[in-house]
Structure 1
Amino acid sequence: MTEHRASEGLRQWRDKAGLNPDKIGYALRLNDARGTAATRLLRAGLPLAQIAACMGWSIRTAALMIERYAKVSPGETDEVLAALAAAK
């Protein structure tokens, strides 16, 4: 499966489900799966280093991606950034 075909399949599913940008306020994209994965790993209690390894990211990138993509509370974000600072 090509990247284009995967993205097109997601777009078709999104449209059939009625999750278009006008309804939910943003366009769901294949790359949004990163946010879902990071959120699930974080909520499962995995430490930052394991999340980085699972996602193929550096620890710094993992912290930045979690902050950007993961739906976390401010307290959780603070914990991730504190872990990053402690890892330096």
Structure 2
Amino acid sequence: MAKRLIPSLNRVLIEKIVPPSKTNAGILLPEKSSKLNSGKVVAVGAGTRGKDGKLIPVAVKEGDTVLLPEYGGTEVKLGDKEYHLYRDDDILGTLHD
């Protein structure tokens, strides 16, 4: 049975997007070429409570592609996959095509 992690409070579970190191034609790409620190949202917590007690939901949803800070997050390994946990307010933004 596969484990599924549901983040608590305002945390977001991210699977980092690793850019390809080769083109389809087999040309090796430099390591720094257009490296964008991004990831796909796998799961989100329910949010946090404000001072008034009302629920403040997480700003992103499952399936969103997000821009991540260069450092931070907590590495989590589930099965053979690696994920990262970030707080909602650490996520820099969402990426759209």
Q: What TM-score results when the alignment is normalised by the length of structure 2?
A: 0.22
Q: What TM-score results when the alignment is normalised by the length of structure 1?
A: 0.24
The structure with more strand, counted as a fraction of residues: 2
The structure with more helix, counted as a fraction of residues: 1
